[in-house]
């Protein structure tokens, strides 16, 4: 027993020595708390800081500075942090980013500048961060994007500039975004789509897979339907996912017909009254279709007949009162069908015929009085 406690004591001593050595090698600003081997993580968030604290370890890989009172980022603010992979600066009061602020962050992959007051980016704002892959500038005060703002970050994969006032998205900007796979332009003026009428504005973002254009605003407060020019989605061979929620669309924009590989489209919260048989590119690879909260008065059966790969269909909150026989006959892969709050009163016997794969059927919020005998025998027994 006695020898056992000596061992524990030895171990304790070794640990004290090791921790002391680590402390010496890796400083941590007193206002922050740092964790991880050689202080890989520095947490300086929620500290009321009005400047970037001095003395951050050059070993830091993840630096958190969100929820402070930073207003200005001076050139060289992060110099020496050559190991840094992630930097979070959201929810500050940043208005000014000096050219060269991020210089020296040669390893940086993710930069989060959302929820600040940034109104200007220059050709050199992102100088010295050549490996940046994810950039968020969401919820700032940007009114335009100059041609060369992203010219120093050629490896960018994800860009979020949602919730700004961007009225111009010049094709010249796209030239520097050729590796971007995910782009979020939601909650900006719809005007940004109108700049180019003949060439697709996103055409040079050739790697684009996921595009979000939700809740675009009209400049004239008419609250009218968002106009999506015919060429908008031209030249995007890899685009599989598109969001057009909350744009007051009365029909599916014909521009989407150029998207050959579209697999997911979300059109929730629009005013779509009908869906036509040729509204999607044919042949269609569409798997997921969200049309909830629109003004459909019937199941778009002829359009569904052109969507053989559909697995998930959401039609909730549309004033659809009946389901015609075999409405989903051409969609044998459907696993999820949602028809909640659609004003259905009766379901005919053949309504769900052919849905052998259905795993989830949502009919809540309807005033169902009649479900014809046998209707559920056509669907997967898992349906409750």
Give Dmax (Cα) for the chain. Answer: 86
Whether the bond into 69 is cis, omega within 30 of 0: no
147 lies in the site for ligand NAG, by CB under 6 A: yes
Cβ atoms within 10 Å, residue 122: 13
67 lies in the site for ligand NAG, by CB under 6 A: no
360 lies in the site for ligand NAG, by CB under 6 A: yes
Q: Which two tokens stand for residue 263?
A: 């697999």
Pick the closer one to ligand NAG by CB: 238 or 302: 238
Least CB distance from residue 174 to ligand NAG, whole Å? Answer: 12
27 lies in the site for ligand NAG, by CB under 6 A: no
Pick the closer one to ligand NAG by CB: 178 or 377: 178
Q: Are 117 and 93 in contact (CB under 8 A)?
A: yes
Q: Which two tokens stand for residue 17?
A: 């020595």
Task: Round to whole Å and give the CA distance between 282 and 301.
Answer: 16
127 lies in the site for ligand NAG, by CB under 6 A: no
71 lies in the site for ligand NAG, by CB under 6 A: no
Q: Which stretch binds ligand NAG (CB under 6 A): 5-13, 137-145, 263-271, 359-367?
A: 359-367
Task: Round to whole Å and give the CA distance between 103 and 126.
Answer: 8
Pick the closer one to ligand NAG by CB: 308 or 359: 359
Instruction: Please choose, from the candidates 336, 330, 329, 333, the residue with its C-alpha nearest in 3D space to the C-alpha of residue 313.
Output: 336
Q: Contacts with ligand NAG in 299-328 (CB under 6 A)? A: 319, 321
Return all residues near 263 (Cβ < 8 A) that are at least 6 apart: 240, 241, 285, 286, 287, 288, 309
Helices and strands (H, E) in the chain, number of each type: 3, 19
217 lies in the site for ligand NAG, by CB under 6 A: no
Pick the closer one to ligand NAG by CB: 206 or 285: 206
196 lies in the site for ligand NAG, by CB under 6 A: no
Least CB distance from residue 10 to ligand NAG, whole Å? Answer: 27
Least CB distance from residue 206 to ligand NAG, whole Å? Answer: 4
Least CB distance from residue 45 to ligand NAG, whole Å? Answer: 6
Q: Are 6 and 12 in contact (CB under 8 A)?
A: no
Residues lying near ligand NAG in the complex (CB under 6 A) are found at 33, 43, 45, 123, 147-148, 151, 206-207, 238, 319, 321, 335-336, 343, 345, 359-360, 367
């Amino acid at each position: 027993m006695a020898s056992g406690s000596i061992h524990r004591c030895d171990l304790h001593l070794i640990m004290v020595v090791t921790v002391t050595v680590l402390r010496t090698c890796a400083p941590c600003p007193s206002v922050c708390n740092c964790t991880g081997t050689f202080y890989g993580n520095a947490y300086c968030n929620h500290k009321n800081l009005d400047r970037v604290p001095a003395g951050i370890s050059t070993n830091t890989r993840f630096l958190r500075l969100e929820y402070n009172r930073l207003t200005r980022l001076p050139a060289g603010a992060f110099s020496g942090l050559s190991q840094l992979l992630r930097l979070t600066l959201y929810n500050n009061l940043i208005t000014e980013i000096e050219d060269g602020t991020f210089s020296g962050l040669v390893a940086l992959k993710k930069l989060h500048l959302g929820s600040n007051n940034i109104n200007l980016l220059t050709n050199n704002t992102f100088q010295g961060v050549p490996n940046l892959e994810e950039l968020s500038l969401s919820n700032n005060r940007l009114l335009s994007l100059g041609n060369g703002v992203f010219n120093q970050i050629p490896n960018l994969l994800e860009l979020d500039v949602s919730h700004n006032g961007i009225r111009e998205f010049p094709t010249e900007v796209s030239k520097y975004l050729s590796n971007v796979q995910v782009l979020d332009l939601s909650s900006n003026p719809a005007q940004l789509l109108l700049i180019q009428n003949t060439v697709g504005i996103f055409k040079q973002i050739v790697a684009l897979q996921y595009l979000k254009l939700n809740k675009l605003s009209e400049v004239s407060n008419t609250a009218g339907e968002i106009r999506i020019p015919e060429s908008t989605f031209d030249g995007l061979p890899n685009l599989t996912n598109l969001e057009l929620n909350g744009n007051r669309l009365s029909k599916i924009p014909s521009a989407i017909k150029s998207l050959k590989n579209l697999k997911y489209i979300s059109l929730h919260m629009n005013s779509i009254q009908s869906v036509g048989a040729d509204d999607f590119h044919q042949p269609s690879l569409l798997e997921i279709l969200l049309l909830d909260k629109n003004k459909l008065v019937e199941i778009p059966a002829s359009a569904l007949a052109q969507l053989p790969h559909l697995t998930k269909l959401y039609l909730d909150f549309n004033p659809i009162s009946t389901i015609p026989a075999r409405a989903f006959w051409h969609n044998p892969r459907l696993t999820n069908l949602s028809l909640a709050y659609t004003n259905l009163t009766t379901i005919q016997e053949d309504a769900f015929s052919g849905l052998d794969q259905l795993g989830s059927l949502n009919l809540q919020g309807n005033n169902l009085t009649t479900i014809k005998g046998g209707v559920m025998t056509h669907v997967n027994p898992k349906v409750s």
